[in-house]
Structure 1
Amino acid sequence: MANKDAALKALIEPVVTAMGFELWGVDYLSQGKHSRLVIYIESADGVTVDDCAAVSRQVSGVLDVEDPISGEYRLEVSSPGMDRPLFTLEQFASFKGSHVKVKLSTPFEGRRKFQGQLAGVEGDEILLHLDGQEYCFPIESIEQARVVPQFDN
């Protein structure tokens, strides 16, 4: 998790938790005037559009007061969904056996994107089975990771 994301998570998490939700993750995408702050919330009862709107209003108030992001940005609040992003070692461990897409911050063996079966977590590394091989990626080298939903015919 980037430093900016970690700082935003520390600011946002108490608000989300106080509203009865779990903060699944925070993703800040800096793109000039088109920057986005995406907040993923989770609940055992599921997440509705109204839940997202309520969290958005509360978090927006905190962000307006604290002003942690310079410039314009769009705030989005969402459930993680079926193709949920993975941010922490615990999240990776809980999705062991699932298919995932991983994008690395720097190339490994000439590529940055990998897709395969999540074999687990060892220490601070993610284990990924792909094309008959097992790859180990330190979590700090992962720029982005998502579960790839699998559907039976």
Structure 2
Amino acid sequence: MSKKIEQLTEKLVTDVISDEYELVDVEYVKENKEMYLRILIDKAGGMSIDDCEELSRIIGDKLDEDDFIDDSYYLEISSPGLDRTLKKDRDFIREAGKLVEVKLFKAIEKYGKEFVSKLNGLNGNMVLLEIDGDLLEIDKKSIAKINLYIEF
């Protein structure tokens, strides 16, 4: 059921937001007995609180109008943040050349389960990575999580 709600929400959001915004992700999850509909949106130059507030009003009104979610839920509209999670093919292509933090389901020889590497892009389902001059191709299904790496 949650996948269907996520898909319907994704369509709704792409229909109501302007082209200056990019829908990054939608998730409908249960946390501490409460349901949350989280919508991550980005734009060139980053999101402001005013952007989130405006989009929350627009999207919330449309969700109320279409009324396809039976449960009560909390609506959260936010930016994916500096360390955004990469999920969609376009994320891997857009962020090529940047450092990423990779967490795998199973360790690989020499690098383990968690490491930082340069993202070189995507080839089909294979994520192209570079660590210390070594080129790696890792199936997206083997990746538990991959985020942009933030250096301080």
State the TM bucket, normalised to the shorter chain: 0.7 to 0.9
Residues 115 and 130 of structure 1: CA distance in aligned 2, closer, same or farther (over 3 Å):
same
Deviations 1:100-135, CA, capped at 9 Å, x for gaps: 23456xx4459xx64432232111322344686724
**Alignment RMSD, CA only?**
3.1
In the aligned structure 2, how far is the partner of 1:21 from the partner of 1:103? 28
Asked whether the equivalents of residues 106 and 142 of structure 2 are also in contact (C-alpha less than 8 Å), the reply is no
**Residue matched to 2:35:** 35
67 and 126 in structure 1: CA distance in 2 versus 1, 3 angstrom threshold: farther
Shift of the alpha carbon at 1:72? 2.7
**Over residues 2-52 of structure 1, what are the superposed CA-to-partner deviations in whole Å (9 max), with x where a residue is unaligned?**
84433321121111226x422222233233632322212222243211110
Aligned to 1:116: 116
In the superposition, relative to structure 1, how do residues 109 and 46 fare at CA in structure 2: closer, same or farther (>3 Å)? closer
Task: From the superposition, tell whether residues 148 and 71 of structure 1 become closer, same or farther in structure 2 (CA, over 3 Å).
Answer: same
- Unaligned 5+ residue runs, structure 1? none
Cα distance in 2 for residues equivalent to 1:70 and 1:101: 37
Structure 1 residue 149 and structure 2 residue 138: aligned?
Answer: no
AA matched with 1:48: S
Contact kept? 1:27, 1:38, Cα under 8 Å? yes
- Residue identity over aligned pairs, in percent, reads 33
- Code of the residue aligned with 1:134 in structure 2: it is L
Per-residue deviation, 1:97: 3.1
Aligned length: 145
CA distance in 2, matches of 1:51, 1:102: 30
Structure 2 segments unaligned to the other structure (5+ residues): none
- For residues 93 and 124 of structure 2, the distance between their equivalents in structure 1, rounded to whole angstroms, comes to 11
Greater CA drift, 141-150 or 61-70: 141-150
Q: Is contact 1:26-1:38 (8 Å) kept?
A: yes
Q: CA deviation at 1:54?
A: 0.8
Q: Deviations over 1:56-78 (max 9, x none)?
A: 01111121222333323221111
Query: What are the equivalent positions in structure 2 for 1:58-97 lying under 5 Å apart?
Result: 58-97=58-97
Higher Cα Rg: structure 1 or 2?
2
Q: Identify the range of structure 1 (52-61 vs 86-95) with the bigger mean alpha-carbon deviation.
A: 86-95
Partner of 1:137: 139
Q: Is the 8 A contact 2:10 2:26 kept in 1?
A: yes
| 1:51–1:93 distance in 2 versus 1, CA, 3 Å | same
Query: Aligned equivalents of 1:16 and 1:70: distance in 2?
Result: 23
Matched position secondary structure for 1:10: helix
| One-letter code aligned to 2:76 | E
